[in-house]
Amino acid sequence: MQLAFLTPLFDRPGPWASVYLDTSRVDESTRERRELQAREACRALTAQGCDPATERAVYEALTSGTRPPGEAGRAVFAAHGEVVLDPPLTRRPLAPADVTWAALPRLAPLLDLAAQEPVCLVAYIDRTGADLELRSPLGGRPAGHVQGRDWPIHRTGSADWSERHFQLSVENTWEENAARIAEAVAECEEETGADLIVLAGDVRERHSVHERLPAEFRPLAVESEHGSRAPGAGASVRLLDEDVEAARQDHLRRTAEQELERFRAARSTGGGRPAAAEGVPALIEAAREHRIAELLIRPEGPDAHREVWVGAEPDQIAVRRSETHYLGERDPLPARADDALLRSAVMTGADVLRVSPGIDDEVPVGGLGALLRWPYAEKERDRRAEPA
C-alpha cells in the first residue's frame, strides 16, 4: 500500500485534529444528523485542547459540501485553522466517531478505511467481443470496448460433410476474437495498473481469453460465471459483484501472506545480520536512518499504541524524551508509535502493509515490523569503509 496521498499532512507542524465519522446512513434526517455529529466532534476536540480556529475548520468541513457516492465515512485532518486532507472512506469506521487532538495525525485507521483496496479490471466477454470496466472501491467506469469479427459466428446443426468447412470457420472466428480480447485486456491492464482481472461470460469464451493472456498477466486473472454483455443481464450483477469482492479479498490475503513470508525469511537470515526489524526500539533506529522499505502494522498489537517522542521532522523520533535532544529537537511531544512510524514511511516513500487479524497474530512481534532497505551488516561495512 502506497500512502503518498498523505504527504500534505507532514508539510506543516502539528498539533493535529483527526476526526473519523460513520456517515453511511442516508435518509431524510441526514442533514440534522451530520450537524449533530459535527457539534459532538468539535466538543471532543475542545475537551482535548484544540484551538478554536481548527475546531471551526473541522465543523465547516463536516457540515458543508456534497460528498462522493458510495462514501461510508469521513476522515478529516486539520491543523492551525485549516483542513488539510479529507479523504473518502470506503468502509464504515468501527466506532460512530473517533476524535483525536495530538502531535501527529491519527493515521492507523486509514489502513482499514481508506480507498486502498485492489483495483479490478472486469471483462464482459462473448463470442463477438468484450466490454471492459475498471472497478475501484468507490465504483466502476468504462475502460474500453473490443469488437471482433461477427461472421461466421454461429454453428449450424448439420453434421453433413459439406458443413465441416463452415463449422471450422466459425471456430476460427471464436479463437481469433478471443485473441483480440486477450490482447486488449493485457493492454488495458498495463495502462491502468489494475491489481486483478475478472473474466465474465460463457465458459468457453472466458477460458479461451484466459489461456491467451500474456504469461505475466495470467496469474492476475480469475473467472466468473456471472455477468454478461447481453441485454437484460442485470439479474447476475449482484452475483458478479460478489465474485469481484471475493477476488479482491483473496488478492489482499495472498499479498499479505507473501509479504509476511518475506518478513519471516528476512528476520531469520543465517550468518549476517537480518534484513528486517521488529519492536519499537529497532524500528525507531531504522526510521531515523531512512532504512524502512516496507512497514508492517498490526494495529491490534501492543506496540502500536506505545508512546514515543517526536519532533517536527520525520526522523526526529525516539523511545525516550531525552534522546530527541540529540536529534536537534528542543521541545519533543509524545505520540503513538504507529502514527510516528507511518509518518516516517510516508515521507521516505516506504510501502505499508496492514497485517489483518487471522493471518498471523504473532508476526510481527508486538504488531510493528519492517523490511529494511539494506541490512545492518551492509550498513556497518559501508560505515567502516568511509575515510576518516
DSSP E strands, the chain: 16-22, 73-79, 82-85, 88-89, 97-102, 120-126, 129-136, 139-147, 196-201, 221-224, 276-278, 292-297, 307-310, 317-318, 333-336, 351-354, 368-372
Q: Pick from 182, 174, 185: which is nearest to 209 by CA?
A: 182
Nearest Cα to Cα of residue 113 among 87, 140, 77, 141: 87
CA separation for the pair 19, 14 (Å, rounded): 15
Task: Give the 3-state secondary structure of residue 290.
Answer: coil
- Rounded to a whole number of angstroms, the CA Rg of the chain reads 26
Condensed to tens digits (0 to 9), the pLDDT of residues 217-239 reads 999 999 988 877 665 555 567 78
- Contact between residue 124 and residue 229 where contact means Cβ atoms under 8 Å apart: yes
Question: Which of 18-32, 150-164, 355-369 is the least confident region?
Answer: 150-164
> Considering all CA atoms of the chain, what is the largest pairwise distance in Å, rounded to the nearest integer?
93
Residue 279's closest CA among 339, 350, 374, 365?
365
Phi-psi region of 20 (alpha: psi -120 to 50; beta: other; left: phi over 0): beta
More confident residue, 229 or 102: 102
pLDDT digits (tens, 9 = 90+) for 343-383: 999 999 898 988 877 676 778 989 999 999 875 544 444 44
Q: How many Å apart are CA 270 and CA 277, to the nearest integer?
A: 15
User: Which residue type occupies 140?
Assistant: G
The pLDDT assigned to 105 comes to 96
Residues contacting 142, CB < 8 A, separation 6+ = 131, 132, 133, 134
Terminal Cα-to-Cα distance of the chain (whole angstroms): 40
pTM value? 0.74
**Highest averaged pLDDT of the listed ranges 56-60, 164-168, 257-261:** 56-60
pLDDT at position 170 over 90: no
Predicted pLDDT at 70 = 67
What is the average pLDDT across 199-214? 89
Asked if 288 contacts 315 with a C-beta cutoff of 8 angstroms, the reply is: yes
Grid cell for residue 84 = 488539510
For 45, the grid coordinates are 476536540
Q: Report the range of poorest mean pLDDT among 72-86, 125-139, 180-194.
A: 125-139
pLDDT value at 154 more than 50: no
**Average pLDDT, integer, range 313-318:** 90
DSSP state of 154: S
Q: Which amino acid is at 378?
A: E
Q: Quick one: residue 228, left, alpha or beta (phi over 0 = left, psi -120 to 50 = alpha)?
A: beta
